[in-house]
């Protein structure tokens, strides 16, 4: 048997050699020590992989380092997949170099317009193990996706589909993950909604997997994005207080205290398996029922298949539903679709014809006053966005949306547009002597999204549902917050910056979101909680804030428990077990959970 095992292994290795020869692909996100570079997985679905980002807000970051092993010595051509994120008639802001062993190669990288491969050099490899370093030159968001050593002068593919297939070949990656884990409930997305869903289900005894693509929980409320939570607690104050934030200014470093509280509370549940730094990349449905969700570690690339009778899509962008074939909407409905007009604001509220406009994404930032003079580099590549706008901090109004930018497909361009707005506005502010001692302190590298895909449930929650305070037999989420819809101020005056928004507030009575808006209309075992719940564009305006979406999460977590109890799917809770479900939710206002159920 041992001999057969060794022969099989040899055949596999020989097969790999035929595919990759002596060539070597090094994924940048897998570096042993990223140094001051950060792993950015936000745009994996658009570009095929996470990458390393040198987000030094104007100061070069510490080198990223790793050690790689070569099967054969000799001469190799070296390619790096990178991008000049602001091409133009100026020095590229994201320049960096490659250091191999003790030698820093002359080629300056980050000069190619659009993601693709830059040729570095031909180099003799004389040791089977060598050190590689990424040397940041600017501190302004250089990015490196991968490094490829090839015995042939042959550029790898850049087109997305060909690149994905090429990557699989080079890495000899099997179609299915080698590890499968099974749970009662799989929750994808660790924002407030996903965390609340996980806690509610766990308290009812379910074994839960919570998959999240960041190192910390909370989504927009996390210390990485720093948006304070708004909305009321509804029936779920006890759970949501484990997760929410104080009402500090958006962008405040006070988010770190709430981060620890949130992470500690979720980790205290023994029947929640938390998969941080794992990003879902596929969901497979058969007969309109999800069979599994596949996720990949954002650094190591290790893949896991998650199976369960039921799933919760709390990804914000509705990725699980999208991959599974769930019905969804994107953009604004016409004013006639649901009669959601507000005549005073016309097209800014709802358009005559449907379009792809949605509320935008924000990147928060701040600066601090110091005791000595502080320099900030010239940023000519930012000025066409910032123009003459001058500020030393940014709040929620720093937001970008345009009909030409899809909030999912163009998310990297949206983030980069906001970075240019921030750096340029701060550079303008530094020209004022009053800001001579002010230092750029923190700029998020993550987009805080408001709206993208909205999955379709048995009920689509609309502005009129909120406006009229409609009561539903299955109303499980309660809110009193005004409905507010954002628009870019450049629509009012073309002289305004295109990255500043304003909000229209419509005062409403207390309103209710029905359970039927929290499960998919056509995927039988899929819940959704968060901004991707079933609603219209205007209907999203009020309940998109995080305590409200947290209520959604808790509501579906308790529903999942009843689904397990009766071996039914989400819709059947409404049609057959609604009275018991509502009683379970009502008890949450009074019941304390014993330690034994944690």
What was the pLDDT predicted at 175? Answer: 86
Taking alpha carbons only, the member of 544, 547, 584 closest to residue 203 is 584
Beta carbons of 262 and 243 less than 8 angstroms apart: yes
Residues of the chain above pLDDT 70, percent: 95
Of 318, 314, 45, give the one whose Cα is nearest residue 189: 314
Residue at token pair 């660790």: 190
> CA angle 33-213-398, nearest 5°?
100
3-state helix, strand, coil in the chain (%, to 5): 25, 30, 45
pLDDT tens figures, 528-576: 999 999 999 999 999 999 999 999 999 999 999 999 999 999 999 999 9
Average pLDDT over residues 44-65: 96
Q: Is the pLDDT of residue 10 over 70?
A: no
Would you state the pLDDT for residue 173?
85
pLDDT tens digits, one per residue of 473-498: 999 999 999 999 999 999 999 999 99
What was the pLDDT predicted at 597? 47
Judge whether residue 352 has pLDDT over 70: yes
Mean pLDDT of the chain: 94
The pLDDT value given to residue 93:
98
Contacts of 523 (CB under 8 A, 6+ apart): 285, 288, 289, 290, 321, 324, 325, 326
User: Tens of pLDDT along 191-218?
Assistant: 999 999 999 999 999 999 999 999 999 9
- List b or e across 176-211, with b for residues whose CB sees 16 or more CB atoms inside 10 angstroms: ebeeebebbbbbbbbbbbbbbbbbbbbbbebbbbbb
Reported as a pLDDT band with limits 50, 70 and 90, residue 19 is very low
* Residues pairing with 355 in the sheet: 332
Distances (CA, A) of 494 to 339, 466, 501: 29, 33, 13
Contact 65, 32 (CB under 8 A): yes
**What tokens appear for 147 in the block?**
């490094």
Query: Regarding predicted confidence, which is higher, 293 or 169?
Result: 293
pLDDT digit string (tens) for 360-395? Answer: 999 999 999 999 999 999 999 999 999 999 999 999
Other CB atoms within 10 A of residue 489 CB: 17
pTM: 0.94
The whole-angstrom separation of Cα 574 and Cα 47 is 40
Distance CA 127, CA 66 (A): 15
Strands 501-506 and 483-488: antiparallel
Q: Which has the higher per-residue pLDDT, 362 or 13?
A: 362
The pLDDT value recorded for residue 397 is: 97
Predicted confidence band of residue 592 (pLDDT cuts 50, 70, 90): low
Residue 4: its pLDDT value, please?
36
pLDDT at residue 522 greater than cutoff 60: yes
């Amino acid at each position: 048997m041992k001999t057969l095992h060794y022969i099989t292994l040899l055949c596999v290795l020989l097969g790999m050699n035929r595919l990759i020869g002596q060539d070597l692909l090094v994924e940048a996100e897998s570096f042993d020590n990223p140094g001051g570079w950060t792993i950015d997985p936000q745009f994996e679905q658009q570009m095929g992989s996470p990458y390393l980002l040198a987000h030094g807000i104007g100061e070069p970051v510490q080198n990223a380092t790793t050690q790689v092993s070569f099967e054969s010595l000799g001469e190799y051509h070296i390619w790096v997949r990178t991008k000049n994120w602001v091409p133009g008639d100026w020095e590229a802001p994201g320049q960096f170099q490659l250091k191999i062993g003790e030698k820093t190669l002359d080629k300056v990288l980050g000069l190619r317009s659009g993601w693709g491969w830059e040729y570095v050099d031909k180099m003799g490899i004389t040791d089977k193990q060598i050190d590689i370093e990424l040397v940041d030159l600017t501190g302004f968001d250089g990015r490196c996706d991968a490094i490829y050593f090839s015995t042939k002068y042959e550029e790898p593919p850049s087109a997305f589909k060909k690149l994905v297939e090429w990557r699989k070949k080079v890495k000899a990656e099997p179609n299915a993950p080698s590890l499968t884990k099974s749970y009662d409930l799989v929750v994808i997305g660790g924002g407030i909604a996903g965390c609340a869903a996980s806690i509610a289900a766990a308290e009812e005894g379910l074994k839960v997997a919570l998959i999240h693509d960041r190192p910390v929980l909370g989504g927009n409320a996390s210390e990485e994005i720093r948006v304070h939570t708004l909305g009321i607690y509804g029936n779920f104050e006890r759970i949501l207080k484990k997760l929410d934030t104080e009402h500090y200014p958006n962008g405040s470093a006070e988010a770190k205290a709430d981060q620890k509280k949130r992470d500690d509370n979720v980790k205290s549940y023994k029947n929640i398996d938390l998969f941080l730094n794992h990003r879902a990349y596929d969901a497979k449905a058969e007969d309109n029922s999800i069979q599994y969700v596949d996720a990949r570690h954002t650094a190591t690339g290790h893949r896991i298949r998650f199976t369960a009778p039921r799933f919760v899509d709390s990804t914000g962008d509705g990725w699980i539903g999208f991959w599974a074939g769930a019905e969804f909407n994107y953009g604004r409905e016409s004013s006639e679709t649901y009669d959601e007009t507000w005549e005073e604001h016309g097209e800014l509220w709802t358009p005559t014809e449907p379009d792809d406009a949605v509320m935008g994404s924000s990147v928060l930032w701040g600066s601090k006053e110091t005791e000595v003079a502080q320099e900030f580099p010239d940023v000519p590549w930012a000025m066409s966005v910032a123009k003459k706008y001058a500020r030393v901090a940014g709040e929620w109004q720093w937001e970008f949306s345009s009909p030409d930018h899809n909030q999912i497909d163009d998310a990297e361009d949206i983030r980069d547009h906001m970075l240019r707005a921030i750096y340029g506005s701060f550079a303008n502010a530094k020209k004022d002597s009053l800001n001579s001692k002010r230092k750029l302190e923190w700029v998020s590298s993550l987009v805080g999204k408001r709206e993208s895909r909205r999955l379709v449930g048995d009920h689509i929650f609309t502005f009129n549902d909120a406006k009229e305070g409609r009561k539903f037999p299955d109303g499980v989420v309660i809110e009193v917050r005004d409905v507010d819809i954002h628009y870019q101020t450049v629509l009012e005056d073309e002289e305004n910056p295109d990255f500043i928004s304003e909000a229209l507030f419509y005062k409403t009575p207390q309103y209710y979101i029905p359970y039927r808006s929290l499960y998919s209309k056509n995927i039988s075992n899929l819940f959704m909680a968060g901004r991707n719940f079933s609603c219209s564009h205007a209907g999203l305006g009020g309940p998109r804030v995080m305590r409200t979406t947290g209520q959604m999460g808790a509501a579906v977590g308790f529903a999942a428990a009843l689904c397990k109890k009766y071996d039914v799917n989400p819709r059947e809770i409404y049609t057959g077990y609604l009275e018991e479900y509502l009683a379970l939710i009502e008890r949450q206002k009074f019941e304390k959970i014993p330690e034994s159920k944690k």
